[in-house]
Amino acid sequence: MEKILVKKSGPLRGKVRISGAKNAALPILAACLLGTEDIVLEDVPNLKDVEIMMEVLSSLGAEVEKIGLNKIKINAKNINSYETKYQLMNKMRASFLVMGPLLARMKKTVNSLPGGCAIGARPIDLHLKGFRALGAEITEEPGNITASAEKLKGDTLYLDFPSVGATENIMMAAVLAEGETIIENAAMEPEIVDLASFLKKMGAKVYGAGTSSIRIVGVESLKGTSHQIIPDRIEAGTFMVAAAITGGDVLVENCIPSHMKPIIAKLIESGSQVIEYDESIRVIGKDIKPFNIKTLPYPGFPTDMQAQFMSLMTCADGISVTRETVFENRFMHAEELKKLGADISLTGREAIVKGGKELIGAEVRATDLRGGAALILAGLVSQGQTSICDIFHIDRGYENIEEKFRALGAQIERV
């Protein structure tokens, strides 16, 4: 079994280049099923989740070829299946994103229920509500969902919650539907904007991405294109917190500061100095002050950064509070941080962190992707050595994480 070992490290210093965003790459890979010509994607992160999505596309009959370390060529002209394999769907929730494109291209799709991190109930009812609004007939059987439609037709629909996955899936189905589709209360994340940008390069007509109302005018077919994936704002945020928690000085390169506003605001509130440039952010760690966070859909504070900031809270001089409003089971990492000596009490969706206690290295487990990153951050400031197991979660979202941390002076290795 692989583990990541982290020893107490001094202040991290230097620069780190951020990879392409996993949460942008996965829906864009799924959207490649909509085209019938060559598509080239650049800055695709070399991650386990990306590998799984490539396997999904191949299993459906698409030609998928790596033409460089972070470059992929896809041609979905001859896709020949509308059914995704259970063993692939079960590995990763984002594999469900092929449902919209397959419904648009093949008029039918059969999917098993998706897997992924166990951070709470993430129902797919909003996806299905969108497909029904476009005219699809949905059949649910134990473990399987079938959607079919001779012809998709545009409609106006309102999402009860601004779900990122549902917004993406409905967008992808709607680009080949007849007429106009309007998604109200749509998710506004940068990854939605990147998907829309990609679809428009293929010839789709998508308007308003990045706002709460997205309008899609259906077209008959989509062409090939090339596209560079946006930088990963969550990876960028993780390294920004690493600078803050160690009292370091790190330049985070290849990031978009406008995507990072809530993260920047909370780092400043907690005492760090943050300097923004056009495509990079410098974080200089200072004495850590207590602060509070409340997770919200974008442009609010991202739930994917909650765990990392909880690690920062353990080092603050005072009491900090985290309120999680997006996922109901996203405090699993708290129990692992407590193994290092953190003083954290949980009440429902609220965590109260009494900072300032010395952390001491121990055996811990990455309970999910971001929880694993939080444990690395805590390990950097814990006396002795922290041993993290179940690191397959971490590998789902961070490319070359040990190498990047080592380049900044961290004592970290994989064994």
The two beta strands, 180-184 and 144-148, are: unpaired
Q: Which residues are known catalytic residues?
A: 117
On the question of a cis peptide bond just before residue 142, with omega within 30 degrees of 0, the verdict is no
d(CA 244, CA 226): 37
Distance CA 222, CA 35 (A): 5
Give the H or E element holding residue 403: helix 401-407
Task: Give the CA angle between residues 27, 168, 166 to the nearest 5°.
Answer: 120
Binding site, annotated residues for phosphoenolpyruvate? 22-23
Report CA Rg, the chain.
21
> In this structure, are residues 365 and 1 in contact, taking their beta carbons and an 8 Å threshold?
no
Residues making up the binding site for UDP-N-acetyl-alpha-D-glucosamine: 93, 122-126, 304, 326
Around Cβ 116, how many Cβ atoms within 10 Å? Answer: 19
Structure tokens at 34: 């909509």
Only one residue has tokens 């419904």, namely 103
Tokens of 380: 């950097």
Q: How many CB atoms lie within 10 A of CB 21?
A: 28
Q: At residue 81, what are phi and psi to the nearest 5 degrees?
A: -140, 145
Helix (H) or strand (E) run with residue 69 in it = none
Helix (H) or strand (E) holding 228: strand 225-228
Residues making up the annotated binding site are: 22-23, 93, 122-126, 304, 326
The CA distances from residue 285 to 132, 133, 175, 253, 254, in Å, are 50, 50, 46, 17, 20
